[in-house]
Structure formats: structure tokens, C-alpha cells
């Protein structure tokens, strides 16, 4: 097991290096001069040249990349131009809010996806299976940002039972119940698509397992149907579902970008939108690297959980 973990850790090193190259290259290809965007009306040729020199933007792209990579390996992601504070401090502060939103969405989509997948597999071709499969298909097809706007219109504008934006109330909030009230709409919106994906794949995995001989043997021995489903079939199907949950963890992190914008949630996604608008390159690079690195970490944890459930994966 230790050797397998070491191999998986070594395997993500080139992935992370490639990730930094892609992030840096994309930001370098964005048209426009960051110094001009920062200076605004004060962007005289002399001021632009002076700022480019102080920011290191007068060097070649290869030199800029290795300087940025070297600083990042030392825990220094640079300093935000627009916020005038270290990028790492800003990203970590915003990332905690993103983790709350993504964690709640991942919990919802995992629980509901597994339950719907098991329920529909146990009642294949029945009315319950057809109705839930149709609902799941609609959930996968609906754009999350559009669903979020509909939920705001119905629950916040029409019924006025849930807040439309923010993480806490402006006045008199700040406690856990207030956080949960603000979390309901964005977490549900973010979880809908992932719920559909997990439900469909859980159903497929369960149907495959239910046709195997050991399930027939369990039923022949008189094991109750609930025991067959949860103690035998689900445990075997979970090995195939866990990697999908890891992928959906990355999906909800990435999807938080536009969901946080719709609901004005103060996370990394909203920060990235604002940083792109102000051409704050170091802040964008730092935010994307942290989010993408977390995605890689979630997939690593999912692989390790899969190998723990099924030792055959290691070979």
C-alpha cells in the first residue's frame, strides 16, 4: 500500500508542473498590457516602462515563468496589484468560503446521487426508475447559472424565504444558522449536475453487480433484499463510483466560479472574475493553481480510497 501511495504521489508531480505551464501560458496570451491596465489614466510611456521593470514584465516569458515558479515553490505567489496584498493570503481567505460551498454541494450530490442510483437500479424499468431517470436527465441538462437565477427569482424574490446573495446577512448575521440559510440555494444549484452524473453511474454499476453470481447466491440463501442491495451489491459497486465522486469534487470546485458570481458568494470563483476584469495576473494565476491543485488532490484521495476498497486496483 505504501509503495502504491508513493507511486501516485510521484505521478502527480508532472501533472502539477504541466498545470503551472498551462496557467502561465494562458495568462501570457491574454491581449493587453497589465501595466497599462493598472496605471489607467496615468499610463504614460515612462510610467508603463517603470512599472513593467518593477514587476519583472520586461523579462522574457521563460524567465518570468521560472521566477514565478521558484517563488511559488517557496510559498510566495506574488502580490496582488489591485488589492495590494499578498496573493497567497487573499486566495487562502477566499478559498475557505469556496470549500464551504463546494463541500456542501459535494455532500448533497454524493448522498442524493448514491440513493437515486441504488433506488433506480433496484426498480429497473419500473415507473420510479423512469421518473427519476427523467428528472436526472433534466438536472444534467440545465445550465447551473440559469437554474441559480430561477431559484433566486422564486425563493428570494417571490417567496422571500431564502437570501439571494452573500455568505452572511449584512446586519445581525454571522452565526451558523445564518450561514446555512445563505448556503442552501448556491449549494443546491452547484450540486444538481453532479448529482445526475453520480446517480446515472451508480445505477449502471449497481445493475452490473446485481447480475453477478454472488448476488444470486445471496438471494438464494435467503438474505433480505435490503441486505443484498446495501451489504453486497452496493459495496461492490462503490469501487467503480468512488473515482466519479473524485471527479465531481473537481467539478464543483470549478463550477463554483460562476455560481459564486450568481449568488455573490465571497469565494475564489468571484475573486477570479474580479481579478480577470482588472488584469491582476498574479492573483488569477495563484487562484487557478490553488483550485486546480485541489482538484488533483481530490482525485488522488479518490484513487487511494478505491485501492483501499479493492486491493486489485494496486496491481
All structural domains of the chain with their residue ranges = 15-73, 87-314
Query: What CA–CA distance (Å, rounded) separates 57 from 61?
Result: 8
Look at residue 263 in the predicted model and tell me its pLDDT: 92
Which of these ranges, 31-45, 62-76, 263-277, has the smallest mean pLDDT?
Answer: 31-45
Query: What CA–CA distance (Å, rounded) separates 71 from 218?
Result: 59
Global pTM value: 0.84
**87-314 in CATH: which number?**
1.10.3720.10
Look at residue 311 in the predicted model and tell me its pLDDT: 64
Concatenate the DSSP letters of all residues of 109-124 into one string. HHHHHHHHHHHHHHTT
Q: Which long-range contacts (CB under 8 A, 24 or more apart) does 203-208 make?
A: 203/116, 203/117, 203/118, 203/120, 203/121, 203/133, 205/117, 205/237, 205/238, 205/240, 205/241, 206/117, 206/118, 206/121, 206/122, 206/233, 206/234, 206/237, 207/121, 207/124, 208/237
Q: How far is CA 166 from CA 170, 171, 210, in A?
A: 9, 12, 45
Torsion region of 279: left, alpha or beta (phi above 0 gives left; psi -120 to 50 gives alpha): left
What SS3 state is found at 283?
A: helix
- Choose from 21-25, 73-77, 96-100, 237-241 the range with maximum mean pLDDT: 96-100
| Dmax (CA) of the chain | 86
Which of these ranges, 85-89, 212-216, 254-258, has the smallest mean pLDDT?
Answer: 254-258
Mean pLDDT of the chain: 84
Amino acid at each position: 500500500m505504501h509503495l502504491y501511495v508513493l507511486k501516485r504521489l510521484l505521478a502527480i508531480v508532472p501533472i502539477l508542473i504541466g498545470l503551472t505551464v498551462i496557467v502561465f501560458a494562458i495568462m501570457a496570451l491574454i491581449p493587453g498590457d497589465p501595466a497599462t491596465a493598472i496605471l489607467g489614466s496615468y499610463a504614460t510611456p515612462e510610467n508603463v516602462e517603470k512599472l513593467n521593470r518593477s514587476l519583472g514584465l520586461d523579462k522574457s516569458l521563460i524567465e518570468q515563468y521560472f521566477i514565478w515558479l521558484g517563488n511559488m515553490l517557496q510559498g510566495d505567489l506574488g502580490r496582488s496589484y489591485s488589492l495590494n496584498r499578498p496573493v497567497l493570503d487573499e486566495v487562502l481567505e477566499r478559498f475557505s468560503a469556496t470549500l464551504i460551498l463546494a463541500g456542501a454541494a459535494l455532500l448533497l450530490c454524493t448522498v442524493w446521487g448514491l440513493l437515486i442510483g441504488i433506488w433506480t437500479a433496484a426498480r429497473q424499468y419500473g415507473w420510479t426508475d423512469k421518473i427519476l431517470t427523467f428528472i436526472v436527465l433534466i438536472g444534467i441538462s440545465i445550465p447551473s447559472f440559469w437554474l441559480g437565477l430561477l431559484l433566486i427569482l422564486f425563493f428570494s424574490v417571490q417567496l422571500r424565504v431564502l437570501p439571494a446573495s452573500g455568505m452572511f446577512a449584512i446586519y445581525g448575521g454571522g452565526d451558523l444558522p445564518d450561514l446555512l440559510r445563505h448556503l442552501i440555494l448556491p449549494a443546491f444549484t452547484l450540486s444538481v449536475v453532479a448529482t445526475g452524473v453520480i446517480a446515472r453511474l451508480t445505477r449502471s454499476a449497481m445493475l452490473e453487480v446485481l447480475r453477478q453470481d454472488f448476488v444470486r447466491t445471496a438471494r438464494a440463501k435467503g438474505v433480505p433484499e435490503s441486505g443484498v442491495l446495501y451489504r453486497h451489491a452496493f459495496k461492490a459497486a462503490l469501487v467503480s463510483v468512488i473515482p466519479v465522486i473524485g471527479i465531481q469534487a473537481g467539478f464543483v470546485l470549478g463550477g463554483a466560479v460562476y455560481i459564486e458570481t450568481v449568488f455573490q458568494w465571497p469565494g475564489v470563483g468571484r475573486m477570479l472574475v474580479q481579478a480577470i476584469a482588472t488584469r491582476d495576473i498574479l492573483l488569477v494565476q495563484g487562484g487557478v493553481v490553488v483550485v486546480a491543485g485541489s482538484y488533483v488532490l481530490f482525485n488522488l484521495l479518490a484513487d487511494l480510497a478505491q485501492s483501499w476498497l479493492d486491493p486489485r486496483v494496486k496491481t
